[in-house]
Amino acid sequence: MKDKEKPSPFIEIPTRISSILATLKGKPWCCLSDPDDFGLEPILSIHSVDYLDYLENAYHNWKEPISDGGIAYIPYKPGFDHKDKPFNNIPDQDGFFMTDMNVPVNGSTFEAAIAAVNCALSSANSLLTGERVSFGLCRPPGHHSGSTICGGFCYLNNAAISAHWLSKYGKVAILDVDYHAGNGTESIFYERNDVLTISLHANPAWEYPRYAGYAHEEGSGKGKGFHRNYPLPPLTDIVLYSHFLDQALELIDAFEPMFLIVSAGFDTYEDDPLGNFSITRKGFQKIGKQIASLNIPTGILLEGGYHIEALGRNVASFLEPFII
């Protein structure tokens, strides 16, 4: 009899941040600072009160009838048929607020998600005070989170919250360069024309999130034409990626935004355990250089990237063209 296969550990882990910090601390151009606390108001401008209440209390409500500690609440009834109101019992609420099983909730999840938002808003705020570029070291990531849902390791949409916050001062563009489609960000701004959203990603016909990220999705209502997806094939290399990135940057330039938010995922890396692209470390430097050429005040927010050993150096390669 074959030995049972060992379960894979959860891949969105704290050492992702440790890897990046260890590298950035050695860079003379990097100035690290703690995020400010912006409260719940900016979050509630994007996410519903019911959803935020669920996210804050689900673990504790679920844990109440049991005695085991130190374990996470795992959704097991994901669904998309939203009713007028969520169910009262916790085991069924996950089917209302969660789109998949990749969003475990433990006693610190809500606090961590709020901290990630504060990193994103601190990054955005620095642009208002004259910085040309800032990097929000956000964890957990956010671009799969919609106004009332979480999924794909994402609980609160850091990019959407910071972009909406900046939109009070002028037009904002969001460029998502994560391996997976930014479906949550797309849904939040799908009917708006003051925030342009663009996502380059693996084709959802064969990759997560499956149900969103196709080329025909261009916005609706007054938002028609203000969203663009670039679904890319397996093994996409820097040559092909750069070609479509140039198209995306032309759209951003024509939009003339006052600010740019970049959802920066590094799971496009050639050895990433969740990706199937062929972007090298030099490729990340080229991508960073292309985006920096827009010369727009830019807030860069961490999304995916799960090759822990290489993650810090990949991030540094991407950031350097904005600085040097």
Cβ–Cβ under 8 Å, residues 159 and 182: yes
Active site residue 243: no
Count the neighbouring beta carbons within 10 Å of the beta carbon of residue 45. Answer: 14
Q: Which amino acid is at 126?
A: S
Q: What is the CA radius of gyration of the chain?
A: 19
- How far CA 187 is from CA of 128, 220, 255, in Å, comes to 26, 10, 20
**Helical spans, DSSP H, in 190-307:** 238-255, 281-292
Active-site residue (options: 47, 82, 143, 144): 144
Structure tokens at 105: 């909730």
Q: How far apart are the first and last CA of the chain?
A: 58
- Sheet of 133-136: strand order equals 133-136, 298-302, 259-264, 172-176, 195-202, 227-232
Q: Note the residue count of the chain.
A: 324
Residues known to be catalytic: 144
